[in-house]
Amino acid sequence: MISEITAARTAAEQSIAAASSLDEIRVLDTDLLGKKSPLALLKTGLGKLTTVDEKKAAGQALNEAMLAVEEVLNARRALLGRAERDVQLAAEALDLTEHFNAPSRGKAHIVTQAWQRLEDVFVGLGFQVAEGPEVETDWYNFEALNMPPSHPARSMHDTFYVDHGQPGSTVLRTHTSPVQIRVMQNVAPPIYMIMPGRVFRNETTDATHLAVFHQIEGLVIDRGITLADLAGTIEAFTQAFFGPGFTSRLRPSYFPFTEPSAEFDIRTPKGDWLELGGCGMVHPNVLRAGGLDPEEWSGFAFGFGIDRMAKERHGVGDVREMYTNDIRFIEQF
């Protein structure tokens, strides 16, 4: 009996080892451990044994054999299960690298890049950033900036009017200077602010002029601010933005909203002078329009074109090229 049990166990273990799929394991489970399995049949034969000792020994051997076969079966099932899952995963895997012709990644427009770099440089100098509306009232765009109706300086701004409210009361802002007033009305001094944005002029476009372009405005309001602070800030900006080989100068000029006023130029390492923008000490009337007392506060303002900066920095011949959105042009920057 014992030898029959051992033979059945060995045979069972061999067929388990030979099984190569979970389906075969399922069949073997019934064949080797079910009611009609060789070991089960041997169990029914226990009764025919004569002595108690024989029965006990054979019973014990049978139990051990059943447990051993079950264990081997489970181990084989686990192994084959893992192998089958691996095969399935490999079959279902998606190789995304095959799409090597995927579209290339886009990037910021040349003017956006200049805008962001200007913000970075000024934030590095301690400025904060504010923005104002592109559609403005006549008051913010002109009157609060010391340009009452019929002021001759208004003719320098070829204005687009918006058909809204009283005729002539609503404009597309011709510069970012109206944001100065909005900032003064909303932020308690000291103010160290830059105000980038889109502006509009009703004029014919050419290689150096666009009807829709971008400016960045600067406004500093504090106690005891002087023209030296303005000149120093422009110089610090010039070196930070263009590099150490560049310097700046102020040239007397006129703007209704600053007094005194100046144009500022930068000198390239080659020695060429480049006109960049306007600036000056904020006019007392402008401080008053912004709700500030000119006896207590003083400040300076500056403004210049962002598109112009991008043009000069990259040597673009014609500003209009920057807005044709020809991908062959855009991709170069």
Interface with ligand PHE includes 302 (CB under 6 A)?
yes
Residue from 177, 238, 248, 285 in contact with ligand PHE (CB under 6 A): 177
Q: Which long-range contacts (CB under 8 A, 24 or more apart) does 243-251 make?
A: 243/269, 245/269, 248/276, 249/273, 250/279
CB of 144 to ligand PHE, least distance (A): 13
CA dist 58 and 8 (Å) reads 13
Residue 15 or 205: the one with the smaller Cβ distance to ligand PHE is 205
Interface with ligand PHE includes 146 (CB under 6 A)?
no
CB of 173 to ligand PHE, least distance (A): 10
CB of 103 to ligand PHE, least distance (A): 39
Total residues interacting with ligand PHE, rule: CB under 6 A: 12
For residue 280, what are its two tokens?
Answer: 């000056």
CA dist 62 and 37 (Å) reads 12
Interface with ligand PHE includes 175 (CB under 6 A)?
yes
Helix, strand, coil shares of the chain, percent, nearest 5, are: 50, 20, 30
Residue 39 or 281: the one with the smaller Cβ distance to ligand PHE is 281
Give the pairing type, strands 273-282 and 258-267. Answer: antiparallel
Interface with ligand PHE includes 61 (CB under 6 A)?
no
CB of 311 to ligand PHE, least distance (A): 17
Residue 196 or 303: the one with the smaller Cβ distance to ligand PHE is 303
Interface with ligand PHE includes 189 (CB under 6 A)?
no
Site for ligand PHE in 265-284 (CB under 6 A): 277-280
Residue from 196, 197, 256, 303 in contact with ligand PHE (CB under 6 A): 303
CB of 175 to ligand PHE, least distance (A): 3
Site for ligand PHE in 237-266 (CB under 6 A): 255, 258
Interface with ligand PHE includes 140 (CB under 6 A)?
no
For residue 314, what are its two tokens?
Answer: 């990259």
- Nearest CA among 223, 156, 233 for reference residue 190: 223
Q: Are 286 and 256 in contact (CB under 8 A)?
A: no
CB of 202 to ligand PHE, least distance (A): 14
- Nearest CA among 27, 25, 39, 32 for reference residue 75: 25
Please report how many Cα atoms fall inside a 13 Å half-sphere around the Cα of residue 21, on the Cβ side: 4
Amino acid at 196: P
Q: Residues in the site for ligand PHE, rule: CB under 6 A?
A: 175, 177, 217, 255, 258, 277-280, 301-303
